[in-house]
Chains A and B, each alone.
Chain A
Amino acid sequence: MDAWLAILMFATPISLAAIGETVGQRSGVLNIGLEGTMLAGAVCAAMVALWSGNAWLGLSAGIAAGAALSALTAFLCVSRPADQVVVGTGVNLLAMGLTGAWFRSLFGQSGKLFTVPTLPKIGGLDPIAWTVPFLALGAFVLLRRTHFGLALRASGESPKAVEASGRSVFQLRWVGLLVSGALGAAGGAHLALVVSSTFAENMTSGRGFVALAMVTFGRWNPLGAFAACLLIGYLESLQFSLQAAGGGLPQELLLALPYATSLLALALFGRGGRAPAALAIPYRRSG
């Protein structure tokens, strides 16, 4: 496979999550539950694809599961003023526990290896991966060049001004969270259906958190986040080629590379960007 295509394929799950999360954070909501959302998307996609034999049906089921989880988050964090980190942590734990319990009650304690139907390939790559660059561009245009995008960004910067202009902060943040959840779950589904074509417990192994880091690294710009994710995709593809070549580094340290790189990137460039002013602050209507 062409090296560039491999990078794009490996980058697709976290890119989807990071692009969605950029939109969500721009609206003022920090979705810490992104990891759990990806995991729920992965398990639902894998299970439905396995039962129906249709990968597209699996993808839809995964996205629906992610949207449901982010609706729960939105109810607690937007409609009610719950702390976003607390709820996100709860959502992660919920997804981990439910998928783990579901998986074990189906396949027993030790689990089982199986292959799920995968998506067709066009020009060496699946259709979801092909859409990711356009999705990043689309999200960029949406945020920067449309009235809706302006309102969405304003609800993350100055929610009071949004309400004064007659828009509902609650509505905008609901939309932001649903986009974040649906794309995050689509990322998880892609991971299960295409990248690994199977499901294992906790298979997202922190990709949701890496995606969160990439939103910061990409300076809350969908194109920046996508570029940052390509770097992670490169590191992930590197693991396979270096492993195959039998390079000197132990496999475990190669696996740690994406996380360590994210940390280094944040330590070096984290301060340059400016987070949305009202990020993670619940909005309450006064009066």
Chain B
Amino acid sequence: MLRASGLASYGIALAAGLAVFALFRLSPVQAVATLIDGAVGDRFAIARTLLKATPLLLCGLGMTVAWRAGVYNIGGEGQLIAGALAGALAFEAGGAFAGTFTPWLLLVLGAFGGAVWASLAGWMQSYRGVPAVITTILLNFVMVQTLLWLVSGPLQDPSLGVPLSRRLPHDAMLPRLDRQADLHAGFLIGLLLAPVLWVILYRTFWGLDIRFAGSNPDAARANRRPIRLVQLGAMALSGALCGLAGGVEYAGSLGQVGAGISQNWGFLAIPVALLGGLDPLGVVATALVFGGLFAGSEDLLRFTPAGSALVAAFQAVALLAFVASRQGRVKPVEAEG
């Protein structure tokens, strides 16, 4: 997996990213110290890191499946929201009923909602010849507007003056691991799914087809592999993982759906997946690193109002420097060779 040249690329990416802090008149040393302290400084910090890493990990795994199949899914954001909304709509429709199985049902519905939303784009790429890279983005915007409409109308909690859905009762939420930091079982789900996805990708025929379709579609076609169906399936699984992230955010950390259900997680998961080498186990590592960055960036606000926007810039510069230093070899097949 990792080679010396790969490590050098990560070093270059890190150095370039740190230059962003200097650009905003923030001492890189001070910034890094603040970030590290906020990310792993104490028990609370670590719990916050894992909490932030959870949606990044789930969406990052989702991105990995689709991109490995050669479908550029940029719609993690819309799929995440679709997942959260599927749960919230069912919760409302069911008369706000809550039992022990409720949180798990919300997660299943979330995965289903995300899968349906992603399959729309998958269908358009496979059977209408319109690349997912365009449709997924358009679907994101449609879903964001749908979210804003639902939470300020049909889904809005009538007792609240703000556009938020009804709060889930305590026993409809995922089990908490750390009360103070709100860390919940969602992180363990992501941690469990990463090796499962690894097995799917590397130890099953479907996974072989997925990697074949992505790395050499012409050869796959010549070997009569059902590329279209494989890509549609990969897209559905990708959407299911992102939708699950939505369900986890809803039933795990937030308990209600509002405009802030996603802090751009679906979008930020793309660099997480790419820097993780589009490998499920690599994604666990990058999700933790970026989760730490986001947890740490909460403390950065004390030094600059730019705060978390800086982390997005850091991610982008790190990604571009990584691409540049590898002569563009980010696509998995070439990267492994």
Contact = CB atoms under 8 A, between A and B. Distances in A.
Nearest to A94: B316
B265 interface: no
Overall SS of chain B's interface: helix
Nearest to B140: A206
Interface stretch (B82-90, B126-134, B176-184): B126-134
Interface in A156-209: 205-206, 209
B314 interface: yes
A150 interface: no
A76 interface: yes
Contacts of A83: 323, 328, 330-331
Interface residues of B, number: 51
A271 B135 CA distance: 13
Nearest to A105: B306
Contact of A282 (B128, B271, B307, B328): B328
A81 B330 CA distance: 10
Overall SS of chain A's interface: helix
Given A90-B319, A97-B309, A101-B310, A259 B141 contact: yes
Given A82-B323, A213-B138, A97 B314 contact: yes
Contacts of B134: 209, 212-213, 216, 266
Among B128, B268, B309, the one with the most A-chain Cβ atoms within 10 Å of its Cβ is B309
Interface in A104-132: 104-105, 108-109
Interface residues of A, number: 52
Contact of B145 (A80, A96, A102, A253): A253
Interface stretch (B99-107, B148-156, B227-235, B249-257): B148-156
Given A86-B274, A97-B313, 20 more contacts: A75-B324, A81-B328, A83-B331, A89-B271, A94-B316, A98-B316, A104-B309, A105-B306, A109-B301, A206-B141, A209-B134, A213-B135, A252-B149, A252-B152, A256-B142, A259-B142, A263-B124, A266-B124, A266-B138, A270-B129
Interface of B: 20, 24, 72, 74, 124, 128-131, 133-135, 137-142, 145-146, 148-149, 152-153, 267-268, 270-271, 274, 301, 304-307, 309-317, 319-320, 323-324, 327-328, 330-331
